[in-house]
Structure 1
Amino acid sequence: MREKLIEFRNVSFRYGEEEPWVLKDVSFDIYKNEWVAIIGHNGSGKSTIAKLMNGLLFPQEGEIYINGQVVNQDTIWDIRKEVGMVFQNPDNQFVGTTVQDDVAFGMENRGIPRDEMIRRIDESLTAVGMQDYRLTEPHRLSGGQKQRVAIASVLAISPQVLILDEATAMLDPKGRLEIMSTVSNVQDRNELSLITITHDLREVVQAERVIVMNEGVIWDEAKPREIFAKKDRLREIGLDVPFIATLADELNKSGLRISNEPLNHEELLEDLWTLHSKM
């Protein structure tokens, strides 16, 4: 049985007493070593959820638990040892003059011994393929390289949860693919829980589970294939579906019976090949 790592219990949040509720009585669990994608249109509450997990915000109602510990003002620094975040713009996270200085920063704040710091710098930069850039100034890196360093900086503190809050939004398609490949490998190697908050549907289909937010509440949660099978309903709340899923629909309408809900080119080609072999 999988062990719970993050628990939201009837959480509600708003940014001011006169402001509308951004989250309304939200409850869900995320398990150890699980990859969960949180999606929704702008203003649906998904980024607020990320900030609540890391103690950047606190709920007005309800409780949040990380590894069994309630998130509040007294536990905030312990929580941040468990939860690492990478944001949309990596420049906002850089504080060091070189890549290795930046990766070391979080560990220095936690009083980690120097020998251990050196080991973790090597391991985290190797994990994201940036070991050859350790003496490079961060501003000289490309957008994708900067995000890799930001991820390495989080990995160095050995969190149990890695949150990517629109972390690939500023990258080109190649950069997005490289970062998500890196993140997938990092999760496998480090046994992390991974939470991706994104508009990129190619990222969503890689997750084990998807939480769909709409107007501050959980609209649905299920495996990606089950979520994207509800194409018309997703469009009604302003969300898109993968191109492959739309193409499969059109093929079905033309008389080809695509039995599964393909999520990528490989699955669609396999379905088409199976149909062809039956003709």
Structure 2
Amino acid sequence: MRNKLVEFRNVSFRYGEEQPWVLKNCSFEIYENEAIAIIGHNGSGKSTIAKLMNGLLFPQEGQIIINGRNVTHDSIWEIRQDVGMVFQNPDNQFVGTTVQDDVAFGMENRGIPRDEMVKRMNETLSAVGMQEYRLTEPHKLSGGQKQRVAIASVLAIFPQVLILDEATAMLDPRGRTEIMKTVASVQEERHLSLITITHNLQEVVQAERVIVMNQGEIWDEATPREIFAKRTELREIGLDIPFVAALSDELRKTGLPVANEVLNHEELLEELWISRSTM
């Protein structure tokens, strides 16, 4: 049975006393080595959840527990030993004068031995395709290259919880796929919890569990297959469904017996093959 790593207990948050609540009485749990996707329309509260987990914000109501510790002003430095976060805008987290300095920064703060630092730097920069840029100044990189370095910097510290807040938004489809493969490999190797806040539906499909936010509240929480089976309800709150799921709906309208739960190309091809075999 997996241990609980993250727990939100009736958490509410707003950006000022006169402002509306961004989160309202949110409660959920995330376990070791679990891949979670958090989705919702703009302003639904999903990015606020990420900042609360990392101690960048603190709730006005409720409790947040990371690896058995309450997230407070006194515990945030310990919390950040366990929680790594990659922001949507990579410029927000660059601190080094070169790519390798930036990747080394977090490891130096944690007292990681130099030999291990060099090893991790080589592995993570190679994994995100940025090894040849290690002596480049970050401001000279493209947006996608900056995001790769930001991801490498967080992966290098091997956190127990890794939060990707729209972290692949600036990458092209191929780069996005490569980064998510790298992250999945690290998750499996290090048994970390992966929390992906994203609009990319393919990333959502790859998660074990999905938390759907709507107007600051948890609208639903289930597997991707169960969530995307609620086609009409999702569209009513302003969310889309995967292209393959939409295509399977159209194919069913033509009379093909395609299952309602199809989520990826492989499953759709299998359904079409079965349909062809039975015709």
1:155 Cα shift?
A: 1.7
1:106 Cα shift?
A: 1.5
* Counterpart-to-counterpart distance in 2, 1:92 and 1:202: 26
1:112 Cα shift?
A: 3.4
Partners of 2:83 and 2:162 within 8 A in 1: yes
Task: Decide which moves more: 168-177 or 44-53.
Answer: 168-177
Partners of 2:98 and 2:138 within 8 A in 1: yes
* Counterpart-to-counterpart distance in 2, 1:68 and 1:56: 18
- Report the 3-state secondary structure (helix = DSSP H, G, I; strand = E; otherwise coil) of the residue aligned with 2:121: helix
The unaligned stretches of length 5 or more in structure 2 are none
- Report the 3-state secondary structure (helix = DSSP H, G, I; strand = E; otherwise coil) of the residue aligned with 1:117: helix
Deviations 1:212-235 (A, max 9, x none): 000111100111011000000000
Partners of 2:249 and 2:260 within 8 A in 1: no
The letter of the residue matching 2:239 is L
- Residue 45 of structure 2 corresponds to residue 45 of structure 1: yes
* TM-score, normalising length: structure 2: 0.95
Trace 1:228-239 onto structure 2 (pairs within 5 A).
Answer: 228-239=228-239
* Counterpart-to-counterpart distance in 2, 1:183 and 1:261: 26
Trace 1:110-129 onto structure 2 (pairs within 5 A).
Answer: 110-129=110-129
* Counterpart-to-counterpart distance in 2, 1:153 and 1:50: 18
Sequence identity (%)? 78
1:179 Cα shift?
A: 2.1
1:260 Cα shift?
A: 4.6
Partners of 1:85 and 1:162 within 8 A in 2: yes
1:264 Cα shift?
A: 1.3
- Report the 3-state secondary structure (helix = DSSP H, G, I; strand = E; otherwise coil) of the residue aligned with 2:63: strand
Q: 1:9 to 1:83 in 2, by over 3 A?
A: same
Partners of 2:229 and 2:260 within 8 A in 1: no
Partners of 2:128 and 2:178 within 8 A in 1: no
* Counterpart-to-counterpart distance in 1, 2:195 and 2:228: 19
Deviations 1:67-118 (A, max 9, x none): 1111101100000010001011212222212211001112223343433433
- Residue 262 of structure 2 corresponds to residue 262 of structure 1: yes
* Counterpart-to-counterpart distance in 1, 2:87 and 2:102: 15
Task: Decide which moves more: 109-118 or 11-20.
Answer: 109-118
Partners of 1:144 and 1:176 within 8 A in 2: no
1:275 aligned residue: 275
Equivalent pairs, count: 279
* Counterpart-to-counterpart distance in 2, 1:118 and 1:178: 22
2:75 aligned residue: 75
- Report the 3-state secondary structure (helix = DSSP H, G, I; strand = E; otherwise coil) of the residue aligned with 1:171: coil
1:4 Cα shift?
A: 0.8
* Counterpart-to-counterpart distance in 2, 1:94 and 1:26: 31
Task: Decide which moves more: 40-49 or 119-128.
Answer: 119-128
* Counterpart-to-counterpart distance in 2, 1:273 and 1:143: 41
- Report the 3-state secondary structure (helix = DSSP H, G, I; strand = E; otherwise coil) of the residue aligned with 1:26: strand
RMSD between aligned residues: 1.6
1:278 Cα shift?
A: 1.1
2:84 aligned residue: 84
Partners of 2:248 and 2:260 within 8 A in 1: no
